[in-house]
Amino acid sequence: GQQVMQIPQYQHVQEGEDFTTYCNSSTTLSNIQWYKQRPGGHPVFLIQLVKSGEVKKQKRLTFQFGEAKKNSSLHITATQTTDVGTYFCAGPGNTDKLIFGTGTRLQVFP
Amino acid sequence: NAGVTQTPKFQVLKTGQSMTLQCAQDMNHNSMYWYRQDPGMGLRLIYYSASEGTTDKGEVPNGYNVSRLNKREFSLRLESAAPSQTSVYFCASSPGLGPDEQYFGPGTRLTVT
């Protein structure tokens, strides 16, 4: 069945370093969404990308949708301790319901 | 505006016991979802409801039943709990009928012994 994979699974960085997580789908996606889940919390919607090659920024976060609409990335510039959490991508599956990626857990050391 | 609320926050069950997880949203959303999240894993869809009166199976529906009581409320029932159902359960809602952004509740942490 359709799969959405993310790499890396874990990432530990020093505060101030950059961080990138990659999302890859086995099929073409009509859109890609990104969510953040703080430790012990619930997923919170961050952004949705729809167009091929689209790039969107939210302060230190940069989101990109691949040209083939099968991959996406989230880049955080100069990480802060508040960035700690797990980042999930999600895309519509065959039944038009979201399929969530496996997530990347980010740990930031002060 | 509370968003999506879930009760209870924590629950411990013995194998074979039953329980119902409650979820309500006050955003007038059409679609509602139940997910489970196991340690270190992503979210897996159990059941969803695209509108009041309709429900459909997701990826992992076995052992669960759901009821879309009205537009606001979507409950998840475990008829005979098993240790494999130990997980964190999240309810979510979205405005439309398709793959819109989803708004999640705080979760229910369930342990089955």
| The predicted structure's pLDDT at residue A103 | 94
At A57-82, the pLDDT tens digits run 999 999 999 999 999 999 999 999 99
Amino acid, single-letter form, for residue B26: D
| The predicted structure's pLDDT at residue A44 | 97
**Shortest Cα distance from B71 to chain A (angstroms)?**
19
Residue B99 has pLDDT above 90, yes or no: no
CA distances from B1 to A22, A45, B4, B8 (A): 34, 17, 9, 19
Give A91's contacts in chain B (Cβ within 8 Å). 99
Helices and strands of chain B, counted as H and E runs? 0, 11
Name the least confident of B1-10, B19-28, B38-47, B80-89.
Answer: B38-47
Give A30's contacts in chain B (Cβ within 8 Å). 99
